[in-house]
Amino acid sequence: MGFPGTWMTESQSMVYRVVPKCACSTIGQIMYYSDHGRFFDGDIHDATDGLHKWALEASQPAIKANVKTRNSYTFTCVRNPYTRILSSFFDKICGIQRNGKRYRGNLVPLLIQKYGIEVGGEDGKEEFDQIRSFRRFLLFTRDTIRWRRPMDPDIHWSAMAGHVSTFIVNGGRYNRIFWTEQFNDGMQSVLDHVNTPNPVDLSNIPRFNESEGHGPKRAHPVEDYFDDLSMHLMKEIYHRDFSLFKYDFDDPSNKMPVGEIDLDEVHAKLGD
């Protein structure tokens, strides 16, 4: 039994299942602050102490014991699939990463060669046809998820339902799933249910958008990137995300949820 992508405060006040591209940097820093009264100096994904993470072998027994007994308030955060996949494209494909290199080494050259996408030149700052390149990236995304070719799907564009489900399948249960689009309300509801060593005032917490500035700015409204074929591909890849987390598939311009998340439904449908 494992809990990949699971973080827990050292005080065990709360447990969080990371979903990439869904405010995870900000959430991790809030968790760190709630224990230590200060933020981690750097990208919270790089922290190897001060926060339990499943990726750290020493943290695994504590996380496993906690999840098994369901001692702590457990939550995750999701995002509109249309804006999430666009963010992945501009950050991971077009952007230069914080190590000064392209994401995953030969991934971008592979996409340029096999799918004919453009990424804005060497530094991601040249003008290019963002809509055409994004739609070709979406074909690649579908190929990785449907057929695992030319590579396995990446965590930044694999379906949120898949991330959320591993925690349930291995015996965990969520107390809350909230939306990035209503972040303050959702995160406050978590904080209202836990006792933390240091109080957290959300109104004074900065947003830790570690991907901002990596790539070119989105030049068009969200809906311009999705024609009929793109929306068909989105439905093929992310139909469970739209359904379970109550986002509007029919209108890419509407980033807000259109219903309430039913936790019982999520556990039933993702717990197989």
Q: Quick one: how far is CA 74 from the chain centroid?
A: 16
Mean pLDDT of the chain: 95
DSSP tag of 1: -
**Is residue 148's pLDDT more than 90?**
yes
The 10 Å CB-count burial string (b at 16+, else e) for 4-17 is ebbbbbbbbbbbbb
Q: Predicted confidence band at 267 (pLDDT cuts at 50, 70, 90)? A: very high
Range of the domain at 97: 1-272
Q: Say how far apart CA 234 and CA 249 lie, in whole Å.
A: 8
- What pLDDT was estimated at residue 99? 84
pLDDT score at 207: 86
Residues 65-110 have pLDDT tens digits of 999 999 999 999 999 999 999 999 999 999 988 888 899 989 999 9
Mean per-residue pLDDT, 11-34:
97
What tokens were used for 96? 């230069």
Task: Please give the average per-residue pLDDT across 197-208, as a whole number.
Answer: 93
**With 90 as the cut, is the pLDDT of residue 232 above it?**
yes
> Angle at CA 266, nearest 5°, toward 91 and 211?
10
Angstrom distance (rounded) from CA 84 to CA 82? 5
Which residue in this structure is represented by tokens 């349930």?
A: 168
What average pLDDT does the segment 14-22 reach?
97
CA separation for the pair 67, 172 (Å, rounded): 6
The two three-digit tokens of residue 123, written as one number: 């530094």
Encode pLDDT of 36-56 as tens digits: 999 999 999 999 999 999 999
Q: Is the model's pLDDT at 210 over the cut of 80? A: no
Look at the chain and report how many structural domains it folds into: 1
Question: What is the Cα Rg of the chain in Å?
Answer: 19
